[in-house]
Amino acid sequence: MKKVIVNENERGFLFKDGKFVKVLKAGKYYTYGSRFIEVVSVDEPVYSEHCNLNTLLESEDLRNEASVVEVGGVGKQEIALHFINGNFSGVLKHGTHAYWNVGDKHEFKIVDISSPEISDDIPQEIFKNNAQMFSVFHRIEVAPYQKAVLYFDRRFERLLEPGVYYFWKNNINVNVDCVDTRLKQLNIQGQEIMTQDKVSLRINFVCKYKITDYVKVTTEIDNYIEQIHIAAQFAIRDYVGKYKLDEVLSSKDELSEFVIERLKAKEKELYVEFSEAGVKDVILPGEIRDIMNTVLMAEKKAQASVITRREEVASTRSLLNTAKLMDENATLYKLKELEYIERICENVGSINLNGSSDVISQLTLLLRGKELNNKE
């Protein structure tokens, strides 16, 4: 004989000859022979290591002390939301589940998940930071600068505004295409085109646009960005092919206006709105660039030569005007003579003078004598 104690927070399953007999409440019991008692906690789900749950539920005493829920019958897509004392505890999937109602109150809410949509009577709080729920729902987050096109089995369902959304996981595939609502910029790099005079050059172009129809831009157009790229390339090619290299280089603004007009004509077709477009760079082949640099240097040298000759003519004309004034005005001539004497004296270390005439006269005679000696 063996003594078994069943505590208040426990229940006992009595077995005889390997068969379940009944449920035992708190107390002291004795077993002998083929009788034995399995002690379980009422804080855990109803479970036995020696028989299945359906056998245990045949006991009326157990059914009176337990809450039982059947989830997902034949052909049903269901889950059960499990609440303990009014607080969400977790999610129950297909099968029969039973919990002791001895210390806590267990309640269940059967939810049909055959549709991905979650009804309004399901509290959103149960999806937040609950690891048990991650296996039964999709979480989709749409950023403040986005809109999302929602699909069920690749069939358009609706447009999602910025926010967080939850959908049940079932045999329906749920996915989204997020579309940026901000002003976007598309760079067209290294578009190589041949001009009318057979010069190959590369043009880097940029355009700014904004999407106007977030649904159609994803459902009716295959890669709208690539479509914009191709439309801009064709417009650039059409313009450059009509002009020679020099004309293209001198009319970049006209090229930008031509391209943006062509792009605006396709706004309704592409479901976007273009606000700006322009040429960033025009890149010439190496040999053409060297030739252009040579021509530019020659032009600048010619301009410098013209400026030099113009300055020489102006300087000569100024000297001629000065000579005429001195010839007509003796006082001016005298002042000019003194100015030159002053400059010469600044570069002379010492000068010896004699005689009774004034200093200025002697310096003048001295300098004139030196000039005559130099001429001889």
CA dist., res. 108 & res. 264, Å (int): 59
Tens of pLDDT, residue by residue over 212-270, are: 999 999 888 888 999 999 999 999 889 988 888 888 888 888 999 999 999 999 999 99
What is the rounded distance in angstroms from the CA atom of residue 25 to the CA atom of residue 7? Answer: 8
Interior CA angle at 104 toward 110 and 7, to 5°? 135
The secondary element (H helix, E strand) that includes residue 364 is: helix 359-375
Mean pLDDT for 330-344 is 70
User: Domain boundaries in the chain?
Assistant: 184-284, 287-328, 330-376
Q: In this predicted structure, what is the pLDDT of residue 365?
A: 64
In this prediction the pTM is 0.66
Q: Which two tokens stand for residue 151?
A: 């699909």
CA atoms of 245 and 248, how far apart (whole Å):
5
Q: What is the pLDDT of residue 352?
A: 63
284 class by beta-carbon count within 10 Å (0-12 exposed, 13-18 middle, 19+ buried): middle
Q: How confident is the model at residue 351 (pLDDT cuts 50, 70, 90)?
A: low
Locate tokens 């649904």: which residue? 215
Angstrom distance (rounded) from CA 57 to CA 20: 11
Say if residue 122 is exposed, middle or buried (CB neighbours under 10 Å; 0-12, 13-18, 19+): middle
CB-CB contact of 126 with 145 (8 Å) = no
Quick check: helix, strand or coil at residue 239?
Answer: helix
Checking if the pLDDT of 272 tops 80, the result is yes
CB 73 within 8 A of CB 80: no
Which pLDDT belongs to residue 375?
44
Contact 281, 204 (CB under 8 A): yes
**Range of lowest pLDDT (80-84, 181-185, 337-341, 349-353):** 349-353
Q: What is the predicted pLDDT for the residue at 67? A: 93
Domain 184-284 fold: Tetrahydropterin Synthase; Chain A (3.30.479)
**Token pair of 23 as six digits:** 């449920």
Banded model confidence at residue 317, pLDDT cuts 50, 70, 90? confident
Sequence length of the chain is 376
Mean pLDDT for 10-16 is 94
Of 125-139, 284-298, 329-343, the one with minimum mean pLDDT is 284-298
pLDDT band with cut points at 50, 70 and 90 for residue 359: low
What percentage of the chain exceeds 70 in pLDDT?
85
The encoded tokens of residue 321 equal: 């005007």
pLDDT in tens, 293-310: 676 677 767 777 788 778
**pLDDT for position 372:** 45
Residue that the structure tokens 């391209």 belong to: 259
DSSP 3-state of 350: coil
Backbone angles phi, psi at 35, to 5 degrees: -90, 135
User: What is the average pLDDT value for the chain, to the nearest integer?
Assistant: 84
pLDDT tens readout for residues 127-149: 887 777 788 999 999 999 999 99
> Lowest-confidence range among 145-159, 164-178, 275-289, 350-364?
350-364
Q: Rounded CA gap, 233 and 211, in Å?
A: 20
- CA dist list (Å): 337 to 66, 340, 352, 360, 374: 131, 5, 20, 10, 18
- What is the C-alpha separation between 243 and 248, in angstroms, rounded? 6
Rounded distance, CA 35 to CA 212, Å?
78
CB 341 within 8 A of CB 364: yes
What are the tens digits of pLDDT across the range 74-133?
A: 778 999 999 999 888 889 989 999 999 988 899 999 999 999 999 988 888 888 877 777
